[in-house]
Amino acid sequence: MDYNIYHLSKKENICYCLQGALIVIILGILFYRSILGILFLMPFIYFYQKYQIKNQLKNRKWKLNLEFKDGIQAISAALEAGYCAENAFEEAYKDLGQIYTDDAMIQKELSYVVNQLRMNITVEKALIDFAERSGLEDIKSFADVFSTAKRSGGDLINIIKVTSSMIGDKIEVNREIITLISAKRLEANIMKVMPLFILVYLSISSPGFLDPLYHNLLGILVMSVFLLCYLSAFLVIDKIIRIEV
């Protein structure tokens, strides 16, 4: 599996299309108050799907990172127990079977590595392949360290133990950061919808106050600029609160 590519399922595709269409209708009514405005915004559905695919990719990589932390700890434990590098992956797969189902990403990857080893593919090559497909810096670092330690004949057990601890600490720090900014993330989500609530409030509390901004060329241009500013602010807020894995 290439973790840098995400294909929406049929259910997800329909769900995001409906969500995108609902957003387009809301924006079309609030910013243009016309059917033409809604039709003009229809391409937004495509970009909304792309946005959701990006989110799904991010979430999947974060989940893989968390599972990978358990994976390298299991590999490190197997090496300390006296297993050779090749057998350590199979033993880690068995140990993690008590925690994860066979459908878990780390279980699939460990199973794939074990199958590659049985076909006489080196563990270094199998790990590098996994690292390239994952697109995660932690997995790439582990693959590089593992390959270097195995080729150089160094203290593989200690090197992997230290590397496992460092990567685990990094992932835990990221997890703590995500927990700490959860309140800020809620505030950011509120900020995203506030401009829309302001438009709704003005439309209801002061009928006719916004009429000059609709159904004329200047008003359409002004509202289009406001809409672009709103969408740009939406993306900027997302970027500020995003935690890279």
Is the pTM value of this prediction over 0.85? no
Q: What is the pLDDT of residue 189?
A: 85
pLDDT band at 166 (very low <50, low <70, confident <90, very high): confident
pLDDT (tens digit, 9 = 90+) per residue, 116-155? Answer: 988 888 888 888 999 999 888 888 888 888 888 777 766 7
Side-chain-side CA neighbours of residue 56 (13 Å): 15
Q: What is the pLDDT of residue 187?
A: 84
pLDDT band at 244 (very low <50, low <70, confident <90, very high): low
Q: How many CB atoms lie within 10 A of CB 231?
A: 13
The ranges assigned to domains in the chain are 10-42+181-241, 60-179
The answer, yes or no, to whether residue 36 has pLDDT greater than 60, is yes
The answer, yes or no, to whether residue 204 has pLDDT greater than 90, is no
Q: What is the pLDDT of residue 243?
A: 63
Q: What is the pLDDT of residue 13?
A: 92
**Cα 80-142-156 angle, rounded to 5 deg:** 35
pLDDT (tens digit, 9 = 90+) per residue, 54-94? Answer: 989 988 998 998 899 888 889 888 888 888 877 888 899 99
CB burial readout 156-188, b (16+ within 10 A) else e: bbebbbebbeebbebbeebeeeeeeeeeeeeee
Q: How many CB atoms lie within 10 A of CB 95?
A: 18
Q: What is the pLDDT of residue 82?
A: 83
